[in-house]
């Protein structure tokens, strides 16, 4: 239950799909486990954090509800937010890339158009269509972003065909001549005999955290021990630790003091926060230990060399959180600075 006289903090999450799954996993890793009985339930709680209330909706609706202040925070694609940004004057981007859902919005043409390799080729092509009295049709659900991108390249003679369906079939079916759609690997485009053209990248997108500026200002005023700060710090810590191991390399007295050589070896291979020092074993003998942060995928490639350098034990421990005083400014502090300058357009 939310304590009396304290407003709940409503977070909007996508109701399904990879944006939903990634958001739930990220929150869980940060210590905010979403309790949802089934995928047909559109409200949920977060265990141990009664002030937070979760609602599920479509990514487009999340932008609207955050803009109108019904939700303080929301997770949606940066592509969706950017498409509706002109109307979302009270919505701000808290974190543009949560570390998953990466894709790009691109202009794609039929593979058979061998003479169309660059977006500038569309300038002449659309002009030819107009001179022949035909409409050059572009299927997309990102009309605003498409128009802005085409305008930058001097493309003006075309018709937007708004569609929420599978756009890859539109050129084959004669619904449109080209499409502007999301892709990650390009496989779906290729499977449907389409290809991205040079200069056709409209936007890089990923799962993003957005928020209602007035609501966030009030939550920031609760300080760096308030619920917003704790949530954002938790997300920062999880994302900073992703793919890292805390490495411990220890050696005994009989191997000699090889800590310097081990530390130098790790530093040469990109390890961070390399620290070495003296420790004592259970018999009170002087030993050494080196600790460092390393990429998880690289440890097995050099553990044998560490042993050859005198290590008795090499341990890689998964890191759940990582906070670094020399790292980037925290999301909470950056957001506080950002909102000081924010004013609705």
CATH of span 244-318: 3.30.70.120
Q: Helices 227-241 & 331-340, crossing angle to 10 degrees?
A: 130
Quick one: pLDDT at residue 143? 96
Quick one: pLDDT at residue 282? 81
CA distance to 82, 232, 286, 290, 334, per residue, from 218 (Å): 25, 15, 54, 45, 15
Residue 335 pLDDT > 50 = yes
What gap in Å lies between CA 251 and CA 263, rounded to an integer?
Answer: 12
Residue 163 pLDDT > 80 = yes
CA distance to 12, 264, 279, per residue, from 257 (Å): 55, 13, 11
Residue-wise pLDDT tens digits, 83-107: 999 888 899 999 999 999 999 999 9
Quick one: pLDDT at residue 30? 95
**Confidence grade of residue 1 (pLDDT, cut at 50, 70, 90):** very low
For residues 151-175, average pLDDT:
93
What gap in Å lies between CA 141 and CA 143, rounded to an integer?
Answer: 6
**Confidence grade of residue 314 (pLDDT, cut at 50, 70, 90):** very high
Quick one: pLDDT at residue 182? 95
Range scoring the smallest mean pLDDT among 135-149, 181-195, 235-249, 276-290: 276-290
**Residues carrying CATH 3.40.190.10, the chain:** 9-101+206-241+328-340, 103-204
- C-beta of residue 266 within 8 angstroms of C-beta of residue 301: no
The CATH architecture annotation of domain 103-204 reads 3-Layer(aba) Sandwich (3.40)
Residue 70 pLDDT > 60 = yes
Quick one: pLDDT at residue 297? 87
For residues 187-198, average pLDDT:
94
Mean pLDDT for the chain overall: 92
- C-beta of residue 51 within 8 angstroms of C-beta of residue 185: no
282 backbone dihedrals φ, ψ, rounded to 5°: -65, -15
CATH of 9-101+206-241+328-340, one of 3.40.190.10, 3.50.50.60, 3.10.620.30, 3.30.750.24: 3.40.190.10
Coil, helix or strand for 17?
A: helix
For residues 1-29, average pLDDT:
86
Residue 345 pLDDT > 60 = no
Quick one: pLDDT at residue 280? 87
- C-beta of residue 235 within 8 angstroms of C-beta of residue 26: yes
Residue 4 pLDDT > 60 = no
**Residues carrying CATH 3.30.70.120, the chain:** 244-318
Residue-wise pLDDT tens digits, 17-43: 999 999 999 999 999 999 988 878 899
Quick one: pLDDT at residue 325? 86
Residue-wise pLDDT tens digits, 207-262: 999 999 999 999 999 999 999 999 999 999 999 999 899 999 998 876 556 888 99
């Amino acid at each position: 239950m939310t304590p009396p006289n304290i407003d709940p903090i409503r977070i909007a999450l996508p109701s399904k799909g990879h944006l939903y799954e990634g958001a739930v996993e990220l929150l869980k890793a940060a210590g905010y486990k979403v309790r949802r009985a089934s995928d047909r339930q559109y409200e949920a709680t977060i265990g141990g954090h009664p002030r937070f209330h979760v609602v599920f909706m479509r990514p487009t609706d999340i932008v609207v509800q955050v803009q109108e202040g019904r939700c303080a925070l929301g997770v949606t694609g940066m592509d969706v937010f950017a498409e509706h940004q002109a109307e979302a004057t009270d919505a701000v981007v808290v974190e543009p890339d949560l570390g998953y859902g990466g894709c790009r919005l691109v202009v794609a043409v039929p593979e058979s158009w061998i003479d169309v390799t660059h977006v500038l080729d569309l300038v002449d092509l659309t002009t030819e269509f107009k001179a022949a009295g035909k409409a050059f049709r572009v299927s997309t659900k990102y009309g605003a972003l498409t128009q802005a991108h085409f305008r930058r390249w001097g493309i003006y003679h075309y018709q937007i065909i708004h569609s929420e369906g599978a756009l890859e079939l539109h050129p084959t079916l004669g619904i449109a001549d080209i499409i502007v759609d999301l892709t990650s690997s390009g496989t779906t485009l290729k499977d449907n005999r389409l290809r991205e053209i040079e200069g056709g990248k409209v936007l890089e997108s990923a799962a993003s955290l957005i928020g209602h500026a007035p609501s966030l200002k009030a939550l920031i005023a609760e300080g760096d021990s308030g619920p917003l700060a704790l949530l954002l710090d938790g997300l920062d810590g999880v994302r900073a630790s992703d793919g890292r191991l805390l490495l411990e390399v220890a050696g005994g007295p009989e191997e000699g003091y090889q800590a310097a050589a081990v530390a130098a070896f790790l530093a040469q291979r990109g390890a961070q926060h390399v620290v070495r020092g003296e420790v004592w074993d259970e018999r009170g003998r002087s030993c050494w230990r080196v600790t460092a942060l390393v990429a998880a995928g690289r440890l097995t490639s050099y553990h044998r060399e560490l042993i050859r350098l005198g290590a008795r034990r090499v341990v890689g421990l998964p890191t759940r959180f990582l906070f670094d005083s020399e790292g980037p400014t925290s999301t909470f502090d950056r957001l506080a600075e950002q909102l000081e300058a924010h004013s609705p357009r």
